[in-house]
Amino acid sequence: MNNKVNYKLYHGNSVYLSLRAVKNAISSNTEKQNLITIEADAQKAQQIIDSIQNQGLFVSKRVFLIKRLYKNKDKDSLIEKLLSLLNEQFPDDIYFWEDQKIRSTTKYLKFFKSNDSVEEYTQLNKRNFLSWLDQELKENDLKADETTKRLLAQRTNYDPERCSNEIKKHKLNNSEEIKESDLDILTTDTLEEDIWKLIDAINTEKKERSIEILEKLYSQNTDPNFI
């Protein structure tokens, strides 16, 4: 690594994906034992600057994770000082994470973008969720046919965090492929899926099926007003 500080900004309206990405980046850093996390939304601006500038006596390199800087009440002056610091030469790595999408017109984002040091994670929709799911399965050395993948997406309500957790659960099943029958055992339907099934059962006048789904919803302590 050169003498210039290594820095990167992670942001976007998918909080789970952006936070996971920055954690993965840090975990791959060989100096992660010197990680210093700064909750920038709750600290004073000068305290944050001092934490970065003050070098430890016996630590040659540190890794900073600065979270929610853009929510600091003095963010304008703080960002000005920090961007100036990032151009200085010192050995630390600094990762910035925002739990929101930062506007492209801000000086904050423009700085990182001009240095090719920004990653944005947008909320997945039904169209691109399956592409993301393909990659997620690949990274976990798992396979699934198209029907199973669509069913897994539906049962997790197209939520990447819940879907990732379900994939980990199937990974523990010691199988190289997720099958539809596995979903029936390990992955329960989401509330949204159950509601749609209830509507379909009512519309098709399937009384017994309607009661079955309704009882399931009540057993899950679902708010009656919501139903």
Task: Write out the DSSP string of 7-75.
Answer: EEEEE-S-HHHHHHHHHHHHHT-TTGGGEEEEETTTS-HHHHHHHHHPPPSS-S--EEEEE-GGGSTTH
Cα distance between residue 58 and residue 20, in whole Å:
30
Whether 88 shows a pLDDT value over 80: the answer reads: no
pLDDT of residue 194: 72
pLDDT of residue 135: 95
Task: Summarize pLDDT for 92-106 with one digit per residue, the tens.
Answer: 889 999 999 999 999
pLDDT of residue 207: 87
Which has the higher per-residue pLDDT, 204 or 18?
18
Q: Which two tokens stand for residue 28?
A: 């791959």
User: What is the rounded average pLDDT for all residues in the chain?
Assistant: 86
Which has the higher per-residue pLDDT, 91 or 132?
132
Determine contact, residues 117/7, Cβ cutoff 8 Å.
yes
pLDDT of residue 1: 38
3-state secondary structure of 215: helix
pLDDT of residue 69: 96
Cα distance between residue 113 and residue 9, in whole Å:
9
Nearest to 151 by CA among 172, 130, 131: 130
Whether 220 shows a pLDDT value over 50: the answer reads: yes
pLDDT of residue 3: 41
Range from 30-34, 40-44, 109-113, 143-147 carrying the lowest mean pLDDT:
30-34
Task: Give mean pLDDT, residues 104-117.
Answer: 95
Is the alpha carbon torsion for 80, 85, 88, 91 positive or negative? negative
Which has the higher per-residue pLDDT, 214 or 11?
11
